[in-house]
Each structure stands twice: as structure tokens, then as C-alpha cells.
Amino acid sequence: TQLLEQSPQFLSIQEGENLTVYCNSSSVFSSLQWYRQEPGEGPVLLVTVVTGGEVKKLKRLTFQFGDARKDSSLHITAAQPGDTGLYLCAGGRDTGNQFYFGTGTSLTVIP
Amino acid sequence: DSGVTQTPKHLITATGQRVTLRCSPRSGDLSVYWYQQSLDQGLQFLIQYYNGEERAKGNILERFSAQQFPDLHSELNLSSLELGDSALYFCASSVGTLIRGINEQFFGPGTRLTVL
């Protein structure tokens, strides 16, 4: 059983469209990270959020940490083919030395 | 290029066999993490070492073991392999350990293990 559930699992959209990916849990996390993974490569960190309600922007990507620190969202504006990949959220806790990765969202942006 | 290297890139073996996966962390990183990624289980944390010592254990099977050597490279040993062990195995490294759940991990390119 995954602590972090992502939705949707698969997403295929046209270039220029907007999209939102959700990462939900019933558990509280002290930090939430988002990664992007391309085929044949390891995940690459996009952002870390640590405060409930925090919003961070990275060019066309907007990340939000839920007020209760149990969920997060990733919004992409005007998606481009280069955004194609597997998006993973990962939660960290005050105790322990591991991240709990989400189930993943596979995004395909069609030119 | 994350600076983390993993060998081999691909590994094909038979059930019941034993294999060793190798990871070299980024220069200066003391922590090494091992993850397993499969289609049905997603990315699962296996184990973490920090400066040669085991620091955290996740969903690692008893048939699997790991170690970190004085030069900080790490090896993941998988024995009595089963079909279900077929997966991508990633190594990640970071400067230190997690503090309040925060750390930046740099992932290697992975080793794709196929058990026939």
C-alpha cells in the first residue's frame, strides 16, 4: 500500500494545454518533493516544499503544499513536449531517513 | 548527468541466481540510498547507508543485502532471485541524511534487472 496516491495515473494532452497532478495522503509529512523521471533515467528533483500552504513556482510549473501537509499539487501551464515524463511526489517525515514516493503520473504532451 | 554512477546498466539472469549491483555516489556525498522501481509497486525505498553505516531500512527483502565501503561506493546484493525481482534498481546519493524529512537526493541512471 502506497502512502502517497497520485492522480491521474496517466495523462495525455495537447501542447499548450494546462494540467494539474495531485498527490494525496492520509498522513502528515514534514516535506514534500516533486521529481520528474524520463525514460531510461533516474528521477530528478524539481522542488521541495516544507510549509503548509506553501506555493512555489518554477517557470511554467506551480507547486502547492496543502495546509494540513497531507497533500500537494503540481500545475503545469501551457504544457510543452519537453514536459513529457513520469512525475513523482515524495514525502519526508521528521523521523526516519526515507522518502515515501507516490504512485506516479505519466504525462505525455503531444505536439 | 547527476554524478551518480551505477553498473551494470542491464543485467539478465536466471531464477535462483545471485547478482551484485554497484553504485558510486557523487563526489562529497556520504549517503547512499537504494530503491526498487517496478510497474506495479512504483518506486520503493530499500535501504540507506551513511558514511559506511546502515541508517534506514525500508521494504528490503531478507534475500537482499547492501553495504557501503570505505571509499563510499555501495553494493546491493540480490540472492535467490525470483521472477518478481525483475525491476529497475536505482541508487541515489546525498550530502547527509534527511533532516526533518528534507534532503536533495541525486539519482543514478539505474540498473535494469531481468530475471528469467
- And the C-alpha cell for A55? 506555493
Distances (CA, A) of A21 to A43, A57, A107, B9: 17, 15, 9, 31
Chain B residue numbers with beta carbons less than 8 Å from the beta carbon of A42 are 2, 4, 90, 92, 107-110
CA distance B58 to chain A (A): 8
Structure confidence at residue B59 as a pLDDT band (50, 70, 90) = confident
Q: What is the DSSP letter of A16?
A: T
Of A29-33, B87-91, B96-100, B112-116, minimum mean pLDDT range = B96-100
CA distance B60 to chain A (A): 13
DSSP E strand stretches across chain A: 5-7, 10-14, 19-24, 31-37, 44-49, 55-58, 61-65, 71-76, 85-92, 99-101, 105-110
What was the pLDDT predicted at A95? Answer: 72
Is the previous residue joined to B8 through a cis bond, with omega within 30 degrees of 0? yes
Structure confidence at residue B96 as a pLDDT band (50, 70, 90) = confident
Chain B residue numbers with beta carbons less than 8 Å from the beta carbon of A30 are 100-102
Chain B residue numbers with beta carbons less than 8 Å from the beta carbon of A102 are 42
Q: A98, A100, A103: which to substitute to probe chain B, counting the most B Cβ within 10 Å?
A: A98
Q: What does the pLDDT look like over A75-90, one tens digit per residue? A: 999 999 999 999 999 9
Chain B residue numbers with beta carbons less than 8 Å from the beta carbon of A87 are none
Nearest by CB to residue B100, choosing from A88, A94, A99, is A94
Nearest by CB to residue A31, choosing from B90, B101, B105, is B101
Pairs of CB atoms within 8 A across A/B: 72
Of A2-6, A32-36, A62-66, minimum mean pLDDT range = A2-6
Report percent pLDDT > 70 for chain B: 97
* Chain B: residue whose CA lies nearest to A104: B42
Q: What is the CA radius of gyration of chain B?
A: 13
User: Over 90: is that where the pLDDT of A111 sits?
Assistant: yes
Of A17-31, A83-97, B26-40, minimum mean pLDDT range = A83-97
Nearest by CB to residue A97, choosing from B56, B108, B110, is B56
What was the pLDDT predicted at A1? Answer: 60
CA distance A72 to chain B (A): 15
Q: What is the DSSP letter of B9?
A: S
A56-81 average pLDDT score: 96
What was the pLDDT predicted at A97? Answer: 66
CA distance A66 to chain B (A): 16
User: Over 80: is that where the pLDDT of B115 sits?
Assistant: yes
